[in-house]
Structure formats: structure tokens, C-alpha cells
Amino acid sequence: MNLSGLNVVAVIPARYASTRFPGKPLAMIKGKPMLQWVVEAAKASSLLSKVIVATDHGPIFDLAGKLGVEAAMTAESLPTGTDRVYAATLNEDCDVVVNIQGDEPLLTPQHLDALIKPFHEDETVDMATLCAEIPRQDLESQDVVKVVKNKLGDALYFSRYPIPYSRLDAPPSDLACWKHIGLYAYKKSVLKELCAQAPVELERGESLEQLRALHLGKRIRVEFVTQGLHGVDNPEDIERVESLLE
């Protein structure tokens, strides 16, 4: 891999059918579709060679074209967003693939640059993701994914439960526990391997797809960022995101 000139392709999986929020990528936030916020942040990253929207819905496909990025129509039956990302990059000649969640309107180019940086610095990294400081009140929330990492900055484990266990009444930072931010970058060969592997017990137990990569022995570099993200899971989240954008 040529670290001085990586070809990095970003894919934004954008399904129409969401159990909690059908049509989410087209939902309006401060006068713009949610997908537009994400696309504009991706286009502003100087480390990305191309941005692709992977969808199963005609109007979303058309919106991507209007926003000036490529669109790929992928099968509605694909089980995960990762599978949709892989399907969209099958014919792409690239070194690294970035999986950008389509429901992160607070995404910035700085998040993406931090995600891609490890591949320029260390050719042994298989994947990269992000973390931020975790408030004490989020430690017990199963909706907040936690990550612990080693001295190199690689993930040791991800969990919905408070990790690591401690007998000390210490703040999360003293426990080396961080809030995981669900953006991913992969070497293309690693993405292929992940999608070829059936879900594993760790992954099924925690309902966390990244545990499949740890099961396979992959190195996941976890980069710290000061600004966390607040995704949109249901219509009620839009008001909160709009207030944060202001």
C-alpha cells in the first residue's frame, strides 16, 4: 500500500426503510435533507478521493446526483450497512474504504480526517474508528457503546456494558473507557474478509458488528476526537440535532 498516496473511497449507506424512522435520509433538518449534511461534510475532507451514496431507493439515488456525488443502487436484501458499503465498492480500485453513517448530520471533515490518518501513519492498521470522552451518566446506558484500547491506541473490546469493571469510584477517563463513535475505515481487503465471515458469538451477544473484526484478529485503531456525534435514530432526535447545529 502506498501510504503517501492512498486512494480512499467513502460510502454513505442510506436505506429508505428504517424500522424507527422510515425515509430518514430524506428527513429535513434546518431546510436540508439529512443526507445533504453528511454528503457536504464528506466532500469537504481533503483525504477522500471519492464519495458514493449506497441506497436501495430511487429518490435517494436521485438526491445523491443532485448533491454532486456518485450513487450506487444496492440490493434491499443486504443484511447490514457494511454489506451495502462493500457492494458499492466491489469495482472500486482503492486502498481504504470509509463507512459513513447516513444519519450523522453533525459530521465534520475533521472527523473523517482523523479516521483516515492512521492509514497514512501505520501500514499494519487494518481498520480505524473514533472515540470521544464519555460522561459518567452514559456508562450504564446500553445505548452508548464503550471501547477500551491498548497503549498503541488499538481497540481491546467494545461493549454496551460499563467496561472495564473497577472496584474504584473513578471517572471514566481513569478507567480508560471511551465513548465509541460508529464511523469506520477499512483496508479494502479487510472489508472483503469481514463481509465473507458469518456473524460470530461475540457480535451476536453484544449486537456490535465490529466485534467480528476483533474475533478475526484485526487491528482497529481508535482515534480520539474532542467533538462527539449525535445521530438521528427517530424523528424526535431532529429537534435536538437542530439545536446543536445552532
What phi and psi values does residue 153 have, to the nearest 5 degrees?
90, 10
Query: Which residue in the block uniquely carries the three cell numbers 473507557?
Result: 177
Do the domain assignments include residue 246? Answer: no
> Half-sphere exposure of residue 134, counting CA atoms within 13 Å on the CB side?
30
Asked whether the predicted pLDDT for residue 20 surpasses 80, the reply is no
Amino acid at 122: D
Do the domain assignments include residue 245? Answer: no
Contact 112, 47 (CB under 8 A): yes
Domain that holds residue 212: 3-240
Do the domain assignments include residue 159? Answer: yes
Do the domain assignments include residue 110? Answer: yes
Q: How many domains does the chain have?
A: 1
pTM of the entire predicted model: 0.92
Confidence (pLDDT) at 168:
62
pLDDT in tens, 152-169: 999 999 999 988 876 666
Do the domain assignments include residue 147? Answer: yes
Average model confidence (pLDDT) for the chain? 91
> The domain spanning residue 72 has which CATH number?
3.90.550.10
Give me the mean pLDDT over the 205-231 stretch: 94
Residues 6 or more apart whose Cβ sits within 8 Å of residue 201: none
Do the domain assignments include residue 11? Answer: yes
Do the domain assignments include residue 226? Answer: yes
